Structure 1
Amino acid sequence: MDEEFMAAIAAAGLEPAKPLELIEGKLERFRVQGDKAGSRNGWAVLHLHPVPVGAFGSWKTGEQHTWKAISNEAMTPAQRAELQRSMQAAQEARSAEEARVRAHAAARALKLWDGAKPATNDHPYLVAKGVPAYGLRVLRDQIMVPARDADGRLHTLQFIAPDGGKRFLTGGRIAGCYFAIGRPDDALLLAEGYATGATLYQATGKAVAVCFNCGNLLPVARALRAKFPRLRFVICADNDSGTPGNPGLTAARAAAKAVGACVAFPTFSDLTDG
């Protein structure tokens, strides 16, 4: 059954970078193919009795899946109860490990942040984007953007290299976390990346919540709506017009609908000679 379970993990796009040895009932962490070396964002747990069932997912993406072996045999009430206990145990193991991973990442993020120097406006990435360093810090040659929840707790850091390459601290919570630029008065703007958020702040003087990616627009919008129930929100979308489904605009519209916000986005027109 291990082979079938591993095939399900691979089919979900979470194939381990190395062969995974599973011990029944024990949650195992692993590096997903394509993730950076040293990371262990993937997780899986397998129970074999009374019917093989398992759960797996990624702390990087937040996704989680369940799996059950196909069986033609009808289960007895006792077997169904045991199956339910196995699934509950898998969920509890996942939750406990996630809490441990998140706490470790948050502690590391705070240590790195406290030991870093303020970023300056002459960092190559900021120069290329034409924006200043609003409350950023720098570690060696990398900008650090803190991701905090609505209560101000630091959970993880985004690192931006001089060439614009971005990565997050392994294991840190991103969902519902953001980087704040300015203080809200009559309106709050939500955007994906730091450069976009800084540009919006420069242009409007309105407070901005940098959500890091389009998938985080909705969780951040909901968290901030609970904190600012009467504030006017504007979701400033990335217009991914060249990408099928336009994920930036689609996610922005879903977030706006959920919290009663407006959507603003750039438009593009084809340029022709003459």
Structure 2
Amino acid sequence: MRELTCPTILDAIRAAGLPPHGELILTGDGKLQRYRVEGDKAGSRNGWAVLHSQPMMAGAFGSWKTGETHTWCERTSNPPTAVERLELQRQMKAAQEARAAEQLNVQTAARERAGKLWALAHPATNAHPYLQRKQIGAYGIRQLRDMLVIAARDVHGDLHTLQFISADGSKRFLTGGRITGCYFAIGRPVDSLLLCEGLATASTLHQATGRAVAVAFNCGNLVAVAKALRYKFPALRLIVCADNDIQTKGNPGLTHARAAAQAVGGLLAVPRFTVVAA
């Protein structure tokens, strides 16, 4: 949780990169409000904010899509008293609890919608343009209209959300669904299990090695999925296959993959690229 110093909470929301699409009115009543973040699809309400007016203007906000949370407090010439600080702490705790409760409601609704859409979808075939372009098979995935549908489940097999991949390769998730710790599995592990970020990489690994592979969907979810898989398969050899993002600052693919391998005592596999000078 990061505190931002801005004149108003709306300024802080914009500074954090979560500006509302349209008007967002926060009256200071302490009630959590959901809103559509600028750039998100129509109908989504991934943003949330809560503002208290007493003992001073203070609040919190964030995004269920990115998982980030920020706090804000009005800066005045008079610092808060000890009693006011205690009240602010109580309010921030209440805001966290309200956020958690609302997030649970959002995720429950997404889980129910995911189940309905998954039931409507039919098994995908290798004829889908995305699969043909990537030269991979349709391993356990489904198709709804022209979109591939990939199930994200927890270690107990419960479906939480869906990823959709269009013919041109653009990807999106079902709004509000839980991603953390959820994955898509290809094959059944015998003595080892591979873990990577995306479907195309996972399918390619499975085709090349014949081994079971888990898809974490993004690098930020690698550690959570690795820990979940270690819990499910305590004796299995886990091999984290990194996306080597050599052209991205900080190489997030390799950084998160290394952290995931270290967290579960697993192995790390890193692709090497030959850089050709221009």
Per-residue deviation, residues 6-29 of structure 1 (Å, max 9, x unmatched): 111111111112120113211111
Match of 2:147 among 134, 142, 147: 142
Comparing 43-52 and 28-37, the one that deviates more: 28-37
Identical columns (%): 62
Cα deviation, residue 271, structure 1: 4.0
SS in 2 for 1:55: strand
Counterpart mapping for 1:29-44 below 5 A: 29-44=34-49
SS in 1 for 2:8: helix
Residue 135 of structure 2 is matched in structure 1 by: 130
Please tell me whether residue 17 in structure 1 is matched to residue 21 in structure 2. Answer: yes
Contact 2:180 2:225 in 1 (8 A): yes
Match of 2:215 among 207, 210, 214: 210
Kindly report the root-mean-square deviation, in angstroms, between the aligned alpha carbons of the 2 structures.
Answer: 1.7
Counterpart mapping for 1:149-188 below 5 A: 149-188=154-193
SS in 2 for 1:200: helix
Structure 1 unmatched runs, 5+: none
Match of 1:98 among 91, 96, 103: 103
TM-score by length of 1: 0.95
Comparing 8-17 and 119-128, the one that deviates more: 8-17
Tell me the distance in 1 between the aligned counterparts of 2:80 and 2:20: 32
Match of 1:7 among 11, 14, 23: 11
Residue 124 of structure 2 is matched in structure 1 by: 119
TM-score by length of 2: 0.94
SS in 2 for 1:177: coil
Please tell me whether residue 250 in structure 1 is matched to residue 255 in structure 2. Answer: yes
Structure 1 segments, 4+ long, off by >6 Å, are none
Cα deviation, residue 32, structure 1: 1.3
SS in 1 for 2:150: strand
Cα deviation, residue 78, structure 1: 3.4
Letter paired with 1:50: P
Please tell me whether residue 221 in structure 1 is matched to residue 226 in structure 2. Answer: yes
Match of 1:238 among 230, 243, 248: 243
Structure 2 unmatched runs, 5+: 1-5
Tell me the distance in 1 between the aligned counterparts of 2:258 and 2:232: 20
Letter paired with 2:42: A
Comparing 70-79 and 214-223, the one that deviates more: 70-79
Letter paired with 2:10: M
SS in 2 for 1:20: coil
SS in 1 for 2:40: coil
